[in-house]
Structure 1
């Protein structure tokens, strides 16, 4: 994976966490582009593993089968111009990972210890050379606890459901109310799982994006990263 140089600031790692539908992936990708950093979409990695397990008929409670499968799994992130592809054993999982079926099951697989251990290891390896923007639910607390900049993005359930509805309405038959219920349930599962639950790191910056557009969010985070690189420890 080629790393682009940057002349605007020394390389640091940026961790962006938050609940489902907060817009983390889109924002993190754009922040990485602004800083000429590498973007790592950890949520897509968990979704890709979920899709693969579902396709193979491997249930999350089938621990032996899950462990054997994830150990032998080759997972690659391939950067593109506007998106990032996730490859599982050489197969592009990207077109399949945003379906309602995957969205409804990803929390069940994400709480399986061997899956989290394997993916967290891969994610840490990706960040060793610095200059990475990584988004997920436990980046600042578990995967990259030493990241120089940590952002916790959030928004109301209603706003997050509306954003997801706009994204899915032309692809799947889904109601706004259903999405609100799904996101609320996803929040509950993510916050209450035993392994690496969703929580805000104590040294993270809280960013409520309910009334912000994407460009405003990106500009705010990029500004914070550049302030950090100049030695300013300001808060948003």
Structure 2
């Protein structure tokens, strides 16, 4: 086990907590680069997601930023699909190929986000629940299969679609990450638990707990777009790295 991983997890959770994400994509990228077994990797990342994002969800609930009428169809549709994605058995090679492609897609989506003021979206009175359900089910399935909460995909998609105000999108993404991470854990628990180094996973989770609490309380004034752009670059590099190791023709 590389000791610097603990510092990386501390820093990642600190930064992601500032913008309401769990950090799953970056945890995944790091652990993939360091060669952690993929079954342990997915379960570790999902538990870390839950630890980091739970505080954000409580904050959003307390200040009333969740638009339940728009959020419920999206989150509800994601639940069965996230579980289905989690229980699907795929080979380690296929997993890392899907992960690499997902990271590249996430990097592009994050980079495409534009700076918005908290309430500058011209939000229509009604949003089709069917469209939200389709987004939720698709991102939920991918999240369950790869082992992330899905916020890194959902937030850019909703912002680009002008789905709601920036604050309410952040609140929705936080709830989406929490619910899908819990569902993913439920789906992967049996097949992953016997392959997990409990001490290692617990230590990494402790780092995310510390970093997440620090980020939620100290990084409120940070510019979210800057953090997302930096994250996009890091995720892009990680995605290329993962694919380079698992798809040989990239370098041929």
The structure where strand makes up a greater share of residues is: 1
Q: Normalized against structure 2, the TM-score is what?
A: 0.29
Q: Normalized against structure 1, the TM-score is what?
A: 0.30
The structure where helix makes up a greater share of residues is: 2
